[in-house]
Chains A and B, each alone.
Chain A
C-alpha cells in the first residue's frame, strides 16, 4: 500500500527510510512458527545460555533479512521487485533489543531494459552497531 516509487525519482546516495522493531519473544516465536524455524537458541534462554554458551537468546538471521526486505519494499512500493539480496550475519543480535533495518542507494542503472538500483543494506542494533551488512538489487518501474 506504499506509494509507488519510480526509478527516475531515485538518487545515488539516497537513504531509504529505515524499518525498526523491538524484537521480543513474541516476535521471535511468531517468526519461528511462520518460518518453521523452531531452534532452541532462538526460543529458550536456558538452552542459549547454559548449553550453547551464548549471552542470551539470539534473533534469527532470517528475521533480520525479512526486516531488510521490509525497509526496501515499503520504500519501493508494490511494483518494486527485489532481484538480489545478499546478507552476512557478522554479529549476533539478542532478544529484547530494537533492530533497525537500513538501506542506501549505491548505484542507479539500466540493464536489458530493466531499471535497477543497487543498495547497501544492513541491520543496526540499538547501540548503532551494524550487525548484519549486505547488498540488494531492486528493479523499479520507469515513467518512460
Chain B
C-alpha cells in the first residue's frame, strides 16, 4: 500500500504534457559557461564568437550541460505536486542526457515532458523515499531531435506528519 503515491499521481504516468519552450540566448549561454568554470576563464567555444567560428562547429555552441536548466521540470511538477502530500526535503537523484545535435544561440527548443514513473521506498527512520522519474524530448526550430533528458527526483516524507491529500 502506497503511503505517498496517490491514484491521481499514478494516472499521470506516461501522459505527455503541453510542450515547453527553451529560447537559447547569448546571455544565458555566457553566464552558464562562466558559472561552471569560475574562477577559471570559460571555454571560448561557448563564449567567443571569433574563436568558435574557427572550430569544427563554425560558431558558438552551448555547453553540454546547459540542458540542466531547460524549463521542463516546473510545469511537470506543477501537474504532479497537487496529487502528492507535503514532503520534508526534495533532492536530485540523478540525470541522464542523450545529446544529438549542438544547441546554438538563437535556437528555440521545444520539449515534451512526461512523468515516466513513480516508486516509493521505506526509510530506516520510518519515513518514505519517493522516487520520481521524469523525461522530456527536445527538438529545435528545424525539427531536429536535439536532446533526451531524464531526471530522477527524490523526496523524503516523514517520519512524522505525513500529509497525504
Q: Determine chain A's interface SS by DSSP, over half rule.
A: mixed
Please, which residues of chain A bring their CB within 8 A of the CB of B65? 62, 65-66, 69, 85
Known: A78-B55, A84-B98. A89 touches B36 (CB 8 A): no
- Which residues of B87-103 are within 8 A (CB) of A? 88-89, 91-100, 102
Q: How far is the CA of A55 from the CA of B56 in the complex (A)?
A: 46
Picked from A52, A82, A84, A92, the residue with its CB within 8 Å of the CB of B88 is A52
- Chain B residues with a Cβ closer than 8 Å to the other chain, count: 35
Q: Do A31 and B36 touch across chains, with their CB atoms under 8 A apart?
A: yes
**Across the interface, which residues of B come within 8 angstroms of A60, CB to CB?**
92
Cβ of A79 < 8 Å from any Cβ of B?
A: yes
State which residues 74-120 of B face A: CB under 8 Å.
88-89, 91-100, 102
The yes or no answer to B122 lying at the interface (CB within 8 A) is no
Instruction: Indicate if the CB atoms of A30 and B38 lie closer than 8 Å.
Output: yes
The 0/1 profile, CB within 8 Å of A marked 1, for residues 53-69 of chain B is 00111000001110011
A33 within 8 A of B: yes
With a cutoff of 8 Å between Cβ atoms, the chain A residues found around residue B142 in the complex are: none
Q: A63-B36, A92-B91 are in contact. List 12 more A-B contacts (CB 8 A).
A: A35-B35, A35-B69, A70-B37, A73-B64, A82-B64, A83-B98, A84-B97, A85-B95, A85-B96, A85-B99, A87-B94, A134-B94
Report A's interface with B, CB cutoff 8 A: 1, 26-27, 30-31, 33-37, 41, 52-54, 60-63, 65-67, 69-70, 73-74, 78-79, 81-89, 92, 134, 141
6 closest A-B pairs by beta carbon, nearest first, are A61-B92, A34-B35, A66-B36, A62-B68, A35-B69, A88-B94
